[in-house]
Chain A
Amino acid sequence: MKYILLFIFSSTFILANPNKVKAQNDKVTLSGYLKDKETGEDLIGATVYIQELKSGVAANVYGFYSVTIPKGVYTVEFSYLGYITDTQKVDLQQNMTISAELGSNATKLDAVEVIGEAENKNIETVRMSTVNLKMESIKKIPALMGEVDLLRVIQLLPGVQSGGEGSTGFYVRGGGIDQNLILLDGAPVYNPAHLFGFFSVFNQDAIKSADLYKGGIPAKFGGRLSSVLDVRMNDGNSKKLTVKGGIGILASRLTIEGPIVKDKVSFIVSGRRTYADLFLLALPKDDLRRTGVLNFYDLSGKVNWKVNDKNRLYISAYTGRDNLGSTDFFKLGWGNITTTTRWNHVFSDKVFSNLSLLYSNYDYSLGVPSGPNEFTWKSKIINYSIKNDYNYYLNPKNTVEFGFISTYHNFKPAEVIPGSENDAFNELKFFDRYAWENGIYIANKQRIGARLTAEYGLRFSTFSNIGKDTIYTFDEDHNLTGYEAYGSGDIYNTFTGLEPRLGLKYSLDDVSSVKASYNRMNQYLLLATNTTGGAPLDIWMPSGKNLKPGIADQVAVGYFRNFKKNMFETSVEGYYKWMQNQVDFADNAQILLNKQLEGDVRQGKGWAYGAEFYVKKQKGKLTGWVSYTLSWSYRQMKGINNGKKFFSPAHRNNNIAIVMSYALNKKLDISANWVYSNGAPITTPTGRFEYGGQINPVYADRNDAKMPDYHRLDLGLDWKLGKNRETKRFNHSLNFSIYNLYNRKNAYTLNFVEDKSTGTAVAQKTYLFGFLPSVTWNFTWK
């Protein structure tokens, strides 16, 4: 608490003195916003370059830029990849606000472009291990059942590994599935997947772009060890009412956006829903067609109000839900709700502030709807946060970022309520748990000389457990020794952590650079999962007396080089990540409905290292990329595998992705992607014994073998219908896609079981998706 007060005090001090700074120098500030001319959307990361000074600055995530330079006459270039550069002559004698609206370069836009900033941004920026994805450009990558999916696309990047076809999670650089911070307009999303990972919760028409940080994570982010996926929603077209949507085999979507007051207030509403029956028809077994219920929906809305030149207000909300079950027999559902309210304020042209209030609610429930066995089991996790982030554009060589976030967590692990007719089962209620998590940070990006840029920062985080609560205590052998009770509002345990962050870039010449980074991350919420890939029934546990927070230290180095005038972007990155207090469970632990779950937790160390190779072609008719990752990921903990090291579930020695898109002509784009990775590590039986008239397995080492390799080829075709002119109000297209073209039955799990029909023991694989074609019709009306 005292740190937050100290912070607010010092930031007020800085903000109170901007005039003092101006009076002392002959420097003035040029600032403003960069937007899309047609829609009014903020251009995140657009560049403002001053020819005479041979330097420039990038706009922040709200499209705001600020640069403080000596008085004079300058030629200023406002640019953004995919847009026509706007060059203005500016006579800068006092502080000025110049905003620019850039027109899209769509007719010349090449098919797959995965960065939105300057063409050689990968060389120039100090950031490494980061990828920016624009929704517009990933729409052409072939998708499962025609649904373009952000989470599937990030799995095609180096260092990112899918958790498996039916799983909800992904692994970044050998880290666990619970180590990725997924933010939607700043609010955390706990389960980003519909239908066990078949689709993500991100509707392509509602999302503008996303940044994935795999390493060198900036000080403004904290709370997860391995990555940050920062997803931004569209603000809403502030110029013209636009309707977009699509009708597909699996789901349909509709988005309506437009101005409420032109150029001042805009809104966007997006929805998507699936149809159960059609999906079930794609499944091989017959008996579930009649009884199955399988659907999901998501709905998001946003209002964006430009109050005046210095103030903007955004309110966004998202809700989504999955329902599945078997009519009378049982039901299972889960969903996320997030809301964010943000106020942007510009102090003195040099200081940009964003104040956000965030709310996030993830819940799941399952049960039997009616009858003598009726019951409902519910579980929830709720967060309330207040966050304040500042960009302080000190001078052209230094950009300072600082801020804080304070979050109140409420965990409702489980509540089991039998139906009124059901007198067999007792009601079961687990204690609610509460925690308070804080982070404050300060960082500076500094240009040192002509070649070196350094970004250095420090984050300080705290996590406290709050009563009312009852904690079970355990001895060294994990036996229950008793419990401790805490009253309402008691803060009974606090963890703190200092998280230094460092990034360095050294330009070797105009076309190449070397980079290095170090980050330390702390994670206070840990995931109890029964499965290797994650499932909606997983339980988030706060650290506390029985569970230590996770800590990760990562170093990365890389060499970046562009060829042929930025047509080819290539990079090689190596990383090493040390992790502490990784979570695993004792043998035969029961994850569901276990009040003493913390007694079954085992914690130990993990470590991962690897090399990522990446080649991308970003201009021309043929575009795309090839990515190859060679990596290892291990764990070691007392009580598991006799204390010997074993492969972590994230370990995949080799991972290859080839993504290509070819613009055949003005109307047709074809695309293909091929992915390959080694199978997941598994524990295999080394013997068996008979008991109870059946075969029972005997195991030796944990994760001693691996599943068969995974690979598949997807194809896509995008066909623009009708006369596709820029000026036409209504445009439509057909998108065909084939998932898993050569129908490889990739193993999802491998179980060693008794084949009851023959009485022999066999290795049995479960597989999910074979050859799956689909068609989606997409339209835009404006």
Chain B
Amino acid sequence: MKNLIYLFVLTFLMSSCTENIDFDLNSEKSRLVVEGEITTGKAKHVVKLTQSTSYYYSEEAPLVTNAAVSLSDGTNSWTLTEEKPGYYYTPEIIGQPNLTYTLSVNDNGTTYSASDFMVAPVIADSLAVVVTESFDQEKNILVDAYSLFLFVEEPVGLGDNYIWKYWLKTPDSAWKNMTPNFEDWVVANDEYVDGNAPEGGWELFADIPLEEMPTGTQVRLEMYKISTPYYDFLNAIALQTQRSGFFDGPPANIPGNISEGALGFFSSSAVDSVSTVVK
């Protein structure tokens, strides 16, 4: 709900002008950055290690190689192998709900650790692809577009946090991740919607051009149920990087769960997915 408000105000107020300027900045020492997740899916779960840089750094973040990375659920533990520089993979395992997963990274003599509790997944009922009206910014007219509606009853009780992502497979191509980056995800909690199950479903993704999903396209919606610390982390990223210039709060650091002052987050997510086919 808050995001909706910010989105509306932001779109309207982008009537002011913006311009890039030269502005000198100080730089702090580089720190370890962890981006990794274990899910309830059967896969080789990956952890990416990079370094933080000065703000204006002109290249991609440097990868951290030859680190010793391991994962534990309290009983079992696994070593992650660096299959390509900076990317460390677990063997093929399935994450289990109601366990706390702890990641341990040893880089350059310092040991970092991060823990996240794996919540139980919510099972979705079904997915529908519906034609709705969308405002085309460039042509300044209303056009038809697709929206994805999820049918599920939100469990009663506050404290549920979610991320939704989706994949498409058009008849003549492979599965494509339509929401690869944070800006594409839909992240929400149940603060204003606790326990609801709207008749028409939850509209999660909208304004998808009709051409992107021709008849016969398979659509898979993934629902990630995440912990509250991970939700707070993602919320902070949104507050700090989606700034309208008008209603922004003061800048603040994004609170991760890695020790020793490292940045980023290691998360545990319970996933469920639903699919449908475009008629």
A contact residues vs B (CB 8 Å cutoff): 166, 196, 280, 283-285, 287-288, 290, 292, 324-326, 329-330, 332, 366, 368, 372-373, 375, 377, 416, 423-426, 428, 530-532, 535, 537, 585, 587-593, 682-700, 702, 704-705, 708, 745, 747-755, 760-768
Most chain A CB inside 10 Å of its own CB: which residue of B200, B203, B250, B255:
B250
Q: Is B33's CB under 8 angstroms from A752's CB?
A: no
A764 and B23 alpha carbons, distance in the complex (Å)? 9
Q: Is A690's CB under 8 angstroms from B60's CB?
A: yes
Q: Which of B107-115, B121-129, B235-243 contacts A (4 or more CB under 8 A)?
A: B235-243
Contacts of A684 in B (CB 8 A): 23, 25-26, 55
Interface: B9 (CB within 8 A)? yes
Contacts of B249 in A (CB 8 A): 530-531, 585, 588-589, 591
Known A-B contacts A592-B5, A688-B52; the reply to A766 vs B245 at CB < 8 A is yes
Residue of A nearest to B58 (CB): A760
Interface: B27 (CB within 8 A)? yes
Q: Which of B12-20, B77-85, B271-279 contacts A (4 or more CB under 8 A)?
A: B12-20
Known A-B contacts A332-B9, A426-B192, A751-B248; the reply to A690 vs B50 at CB < 8 A is yes
Residue of A nearest to B245 (CB): A766
Q: Is A763's CB under 8 angstroms from B21's CB?
A: yes
Contact with A along B49-65 (1 / 0, CB 8 A): 01011111110110000
Interface: B101 (CB within 8 A)? no
Known A-B contacts A698-B263, A751-B243, A766-B17; the reply to A587 vs B252 at CB < 8 A is yes
Residue of A nearest to B56 (CB): A761
Pairs across A and B, CB under 8 Å, 16 listed:
A166-B246, A285-B14, A332-B12, A373-B4, A532-B250, A588-B255, A686-B54, A688-B52, A691-B265, A692-B237, A694-B181, A698-B52, A748-B16, A766-B16, A767-B19, A768-B17
Contacts of A685 in B (CB 8 A): 25, 55, 251
Residue of B nearest to A166 (CB): B246
Q: Is B57's CB under 8 angstroms from A688's CB?
A: yes
Residue of A nearest to B50 (CB): A690
Q: Is A593's CB under 8 angstroms from B1's CB?
A: yes
Tell me how far the C-beta of B236 lies from the nearest C-beta in chain A, rounded to whole angstroms.
Answer: 5
B contact residues vs A (CB 8 Å cutoff): 1-2, 4-5, 8-9, 11-12, 14-23, 25-28, 30-31, 33, 35, 50, 52-58, 60-61, 135, 137, 140, 180-183, 185, 192-194, 196, 198-200, 202-203, 232, 234-237, 239-241, 243, 245-255, 263-265
With A330-B9, A588-B252 given, name 7 new contacts (CB 8 A).
A428-B192, A531-B248, A535-B247, A588-B235, A696-B254, A747-B21, A764-B20
Of B61, B181, B198, B251, the residue contacting A689 (CB under 8 A) is B61
Contacts of A695 in B (CB 8 A): 241
Q: Is A424's CB under 8 angstroms from B58's CB?
A: no
Of B55, B183, B194, the residue contacting A687 (CB under 8 A) is B55
Of A284, A375, A702, the residue contacting B250 (CB under 8 A) is A702
A590 and B192 alpha carbons, distance in the complex (Å)? 14
Known A-B contacts A424-B193, A592-B5, A693-B181; the reply to A688 vs B248 at CB < 8 A is no
A645 and B27 alpha carbons, distance in the complex (Å)? 21
Of B20, B192, B248, the residue contacting A762 (CB under 8 A) is B20
Contacts of B252 in A (CB 8 A): 587-588, 699
Contacts of B180 in A (CB 8 A): 693
A426 and B154 alpha carbons, distance in the complex (Å)? 12
Q: Is A588's CB under 8 angstroms from B19's CB?
A: no
Known A-B contacts A694-B183, A763-B21; the reply to A426 vs B56 at CB < 8 A is no
Contacts of B246 in A (CB 8 A): 166, 196, 531, 535, 749, 766
Contacts of A368 in B (CB 8 A): 4, 8
Of A591, A683, A768, the residue contacting B251 (CB under 8 A) is A683
Q: Is B196's CB under 8 angstroms from A423's CB?
A: yes
Most chain B CB inside 10 Å of its own CB: which residue of A696, A702, A765:
A696
- 9 A-B pairs with least C-beta separation: A692-B182, A693-B181, A587-B252, A766-B245, A763-B23, A686-B28, A689-B52, A330-B8, A689-B33
Tell me how far the C-beta of B53 lies from the nearest C-beta in chain A, rounded to whole angstroms.
Answer: 6
Q: Is A423's CB under 8 angstroms from B198's CB?
A: yes
Contacts of A284 in B (CB 8 A): 15, 17
Tell me how far the C-beta of B82 lies from the nearest C-beta in chain A, rounded to whole angstroms.
Answer: 18
Contacts of A689 in B (CB 8 A): 31, 33, 50, 52-53, 61, 263-264
Known A-B contacts A283-B15, A763-B20, A766-B245; the reply to A699 vs B193 at CB < 8 A is no
Tell me how far the C-beta of A442 lies from the nearest C-beta in chain B, rounded to whole angstroms.
Answer: 42
